[in-house]
Amino acid sequence: MCKFGTCIMRYSQFSFLFLLGLVCSGFYACKTEFDGTLKPNLAPQTYMLTDTIQRAGELRYKTQVKVQWWGTDADGYISAYEISLNGTTWFSTTKQDSLFSLNIPVNADTFDFKFFVRAIDNMGAKDLSPASLAYPVKNSPPDIKFIFSGTRNPVRSFPAVKYTWLATDPDGNDNIDYIELYLNDTNGGAYKLPASVSSVSLVAKNISGGTTDCDVYTGISNIALATSIAGMKLNDTNYVYLRVADKVNAKSPFRVTKIFIRKPSSDMLVVNAWTTAFTKNAAQTFYLNNINATGLSGYDVLQAADKDANGNYYELSPDPQTQDRVFAFFKKIFWFGDNTDYSLSLAQKSTVAFFGTNNGGMFMVIPINSDIDQQADYLNFTPVRSLVTPPAGTNFFFAKDSLLTPYAADWPTMRCVANLSTARPFTIPDAPTSLYSYDTLYKASITQVGSSSNAWAGTSHVIAKRTTIATGKANFIFCSVPLDKMNGYNNMSVFFQKALIDELRF
């Protein structure tokens, strides 16, 4: 007697052997291989989103076209694609879409962009009837606009100006071919610039007449282009026009900006960098009156801190490099201001050519604040080596009726007419450099104020000069106290005569 499960197993084994015997006996013929013919691999099929595009006129595509495709394979899978722009030359890809930036033929406004694609299956078979589509394309004109730098967008300038722009093309910026620049006259020939240029500086070559040619500088280059541009008008309003052209010679509308170009009237410039509006005019009157008292006249005045209602500077150049080119028109600068950081940082970055190429001379009056950064490097171009720091818990104070005392007997002693909390003495270099030597001209009777007040016994230099060793002549006098508050003895004109005429040879 057997268990049910065991009997079933034996019966199943018997049945299988019986049937196998029948198959291999006379009932069936027994074969050791499969019969039949191997079916050939089927070629894949390729598809695009549509087979025809009907667009005309303004409805044509822009010259950046996105193309999409896909494929199917009945007996395998798609492993790659090949694409072509002419049906002859093919390029392999595994992508199913691509963005094409097209170059329309020169002087053509429209054309039909033909695209071919064929799928490749896992056996390497290619679609024998590639999908294709013609895209009707129309060129779009480029555009350009002026870009003005922050708040430095002057409406008046001496004849060194800079302009920056942004050129764009709806068909892709690679389609931009060149920039056209015009100065005052769009009927004449354009000054052409490469598409890669996004800014130019125009600097007058000759300021003796009423109009002048200009050197043209691109970007931040200090090397002028070989060709100058004509037509800058001095002491007149000038118009600068821009236009951009693409590779099929479609052009943008003209964009224009204007500026009044001042003609330097002499080789001397007075820079008014006074930032406090309600004392600005009084300060300018004081300094100009004392300049005039020396017999100097015919100088120009630059309002370096004046702004319009939108906070844009009227006369300050867009960047230090352009301002440097403005100052290079002059050989003498008298600079006064009431903001240490503003004046010194501006002057340091924009007087390179003035002191270098021009061998210019400068007188600078900038009261130095007590809280000025001791590590600020914008004093490096002055006769100052370092600032004197008051002891902890104290400040320097310059009291009314205190004296400015000269180190040389032929300079006048001056008296302060107001209490000043911005008295900051300085030191000068200990020894001459290869280019310059340094001397102090005045010391101040400074008070050290803290829990108690005491006369400051340390270094108290407040006016110093720098002398060019090669010539033996001073080229920079720096004053760290406001001279408009130092005329208690009514002898400021004597000081100006000594400083500007005798020392700096203005």
Which DSSP string do the residues of 340-367 spell out, in sequence order?
HHHHHHHHHHH-HHHHTTS--EEEEE-P
Of all residues in the chain, the percent with pLDDT exceeding 70 is 87
Cut 0.75: pTM above it: yes
Residue where one domain finishes, among candidates 104, 138, 172: 138
In a domain, 4, yes or no: no
In a domain, 403, yes or no: yes
Instruction: Give the single-character DSSP code of 277.
Output: H
Q: Angle at Cα 404 formed by Cα 408 and Cα 475, nearest 5°?
A: 55
Residue 136 has pLDDT above 90, yes or no: no
Whole-angstrom distance, CA of residue 381 vs CA of residue 412: 27
Whole-angstrom distance, CA of residue 408 vs CA of residue 441: 7
Q: Could you tell me the maximum CA-CA distance found in the chain, to the nearest angstrom?
A: 145
What is the secondary structure of 238-258 as a DSSP string? EEEEEEEEETT--BPPPEEEE
Residues 297 and 410 in one domain: yes
Of all residues in the chain, the percent with pLDDT exceeding 90 is 69
Least confident segment among 93-102, 194-203, 209-218, 385-394: 93-102
| pLDDT score recorded for residue 49 | 72
Whole-angstrom distance, CA of residue 213 vs CA of residue 472: 37
Distances (CA, A) of 129 to 45, 48, 57: 8, 13, 31
> Quick check: helix, strand or coil at residue 485?
helix
Residues 463 and 371 in one domain: yes
Q: Would the CA dihedral through 33, 39, 40, 46 be positive or negative?
A: negative
Residues 216 and 306 in one domain: no
Q: Residue range 191-205: average pLDDT? A: 98
pLDDT digit string (tens) for 55-93?
444 544 455 678 899 999 999 999 999 999 889 999 999
Residues 382 and 317 in one domain: yes
Residues 466 and 357 in one domain: yes
Residues 286 and 424 in one domain: yes
Distances (CA, A) of 98 to 64, 70, 213: 10, 12, 49
Whole-angstrom distance, CA of residue 95 vs CA of residue 72: 14
Residues 129 and 148 in one domain: no
Q: Angle at Cα 468 formed by Cα 466 and Cα 474, nearest 5°?
A: 50
In a domain, 15, yes or no: no
Beta strands in 73-155 (DSSP E): 78-84, 91-93, 97-101, 110-121, 131-138, 143-147
List the CATH number of the domain containing 354: 3.40.50
Residue where one domain finishes, among candidates 195, 229, 261: 261
Q: Are 139 and 110 in contact (CB under 8 A)?
A: yes
In a domain, 390, yes or no: yes
Residues 300 and 245 in one domain: no
> Quick check: helix, strand or coil at residue 200?
strand
| pLDDT score recorded for residue 7 | 37
Structural tokens at position 109: 């406004």
Q: Which residues pair with 377 in a beta bridge?
A: none
Residue where one domain finishes, among candidates 218, 237, 261: 261
List the CATH number of the domain containing 75: 2.60.40.10
Least confident segment among 287-301, 373-387, 417-431: 373-387
Q: Which residues pair with 403 in a beta bridge?
A: 415
In a domain, 82, yes or no: yes
Distances (CA, A) of 205 to 115, 161, 227, 258, 261: 54, 13, 12, 20, 14
What is the secondary structure of 475-500 as a DSSP string? EEEEE-S-GGG-BTTS-HHHHHIIII
Distances (CA, A) of 335 to 251, 279, 298, 338, 461: 46, 16, 16, 11, 19
Residues 450 and 480 in one domain: yes
Q: Are 219 and 205 in contact (CB under 8 A)?
A: no
| pLDDT score recorded for residue 50 | 59
Residues 252 and 285 in one domain: no
Residues 455 and 383 in one domain: yes
| pLDDT score recorded for residue 33 | 59
Q: Are 53 and 133 in contact (CB under 8 A)?
A: yes
Query: Given its phi and psi angles, is residue 410 left (phi above 0), alpha (psi -120 to 50 degrees) or beta?
Result: alpha
In a domain, 103, yes or no: yes
Structural tokens at position 324: 């440097």
Count of Cβ atoms closer than 10 Å to residue 337 Cβ = 25
Q: Residue range 221-245: average pLDDT? A: 98
Confidence tier at 488 by pLDDT (50, 70, 90): very high
In a domain, 434, yes or no: yes
pLDDT digit string (tens) for 316-338?
999 999 999 999 999 999 999 99
Burial state string for 161-178 with b = 16 or more CB within 10 A and e = fewer than 16? bbbebebebebbeebbbb
Confidence tier at 309 by pLDDT (50, 70, 90): confident
Whole-angstrom distance, CA of residue 282 vs CA of residue 266: 24
Q: Which residues pair with 162 in a beta bridge?
A: 201
Q: CB-based contacts of 42: which residues, under 8 Å, 6+ apart?
A: 73, 74, 75, 76, 125
* H helix or E strand, kind and range, residue 494: helix 492-496
Which residues form the domain of 153? Answer: 143-261
Structural tokens at position 319: 């960047």
Distances (CA, A) of 46 to 50, 66, 437: 12, 17, 83
For the chain, the average pLDDT equals: 88
Residues 287 and 193 in one domain: no
In a domain, 13, yes or no: no
Q: How many CA atoms lie within 13 A of 150 on its CB side?
A: 7
Number of domains in the chain: 3
Whole-angstrom distance, CA of residue 344 vs CA of residue 322: 17
Residue ranges of alpha helices (H) inside 139-209 are: none
Q: Which residue has the higher pLDDT, 484 or 450?
A: 484
